[in-house]
Structure 1
Amino acid sequence: MMRILVLAMLLTLLGGCAVTPATPEPRELSLAAPPRIVLQETMALLMDQGYVIRQADADLGRAEAALARWPGYRIRVTATPEAQGARLSLTATRGGRPLPPHLLDPVLAELQRRLGLAP
């Protein structure tokens, strides 16, 4: 009986040590283009950079891409309708860990250039 009690206490203590993974912080940008076009251009850009589109749904405005080579980055794309176009949201992870959102700035800058919306 004592063994079961000690085991239960040990499992309770170890259960408290579990850490939930941090959610990636998104990098967002408003674009004066329809959400479907923004999503298509974003996927084309990611494919040009070596990403493989793993999942995509144009009706929902979502896509997920994974880098086909090491170090295995993943980018989630969401394009939602906004008053004057679309709001693009990108999040990136590597090995399940979130990456700083500023690393996505070159992707956003290139996307603006491709859409003809660069400042």
Structure 2
Amino acid sequence: MKRLPILLLLGLALTACATTSMPLPDRQVRVEASTERALEVGLDVLVERGFVIRLADVGLGRIDAVRAARPGYVVHYKVREATTGTWVALSGRRGNDAIEPHRFDPLLTEIATRLEPVQ
């Protein structure tokens, strides 16, 4: 009877480990722009590509969006300051599965192109 509480605690600990989600694999690119500008351009590109914005927070440096035409297709767009410029990262999930990072290359290319300095 004394072992029952210990077994229950052990079961809870194992359940917590099993339900902890792994970070999604992402694709990153460094751009020569402020974090605010990178968020603004990322927002524009996502909306133009048919995403519905669920969260856009400059303070967090994050945008969460869902694909209007594909329910369950969720994308996370994050920015963070680099020594020079800004790191832009995209990750996502389709249903319960992570989206392969290389699938974000076209989006990142378009965003990086729009952020290139005009000469």
TM above 0.5: yes
Shorter-chain TM-score category? Answer: 0.7 to 0.9
Give the letter for the 2:90 counterpart.
L
Give the letter for the 1:99 counterpart.
I
Please identify the structure whose Cα radius of gyration is greater: 1
Give the letter for the 1:35 counterpart.
T
May I ask how many residue pairs the two structures share in their alignment?
109
| Per-residue deviation, 1:19 | 6.4
Partner in structure 2 of residue 51 of structure 1: 51
Give the letter for the 2:43 counterpart.
M
Partner in structure 1 of residue 114 of structure 2: 114
Q: TM-score, normalised by structure 1?
A: 0.77
Give the letter for the 1:52 counterpart.
V
- Aligned pair 1:90/2:66, yes or no? no
Distance, in Å, in 2 between the alignment partners of 1:55 and 1:32 is 24
| Superposition pairs of residues 1-119 of structure 1, within 5 angstroms | 21-116=21-116
Q: Give the aligned CA root-mean-square deviation in angstroms.
A: 2.6
Gaps of 5+ in 2: 1-10
Distance, in Å, in 2 between the alignment partners of 1:89 and 1:70 is 21
Distance, in Å, in 1 between the alignment partners of 2:20 and 2:80 is 28
Residues 11-49 of structure 1: CA deviation (Å, up to 9, x unaligned): x7xx6xx66554320111111100110011001100000
Give the share of equivalent positions with the same residue, in percent.
Answer: 31
Give the letter for the 2:95 counterpart.
G
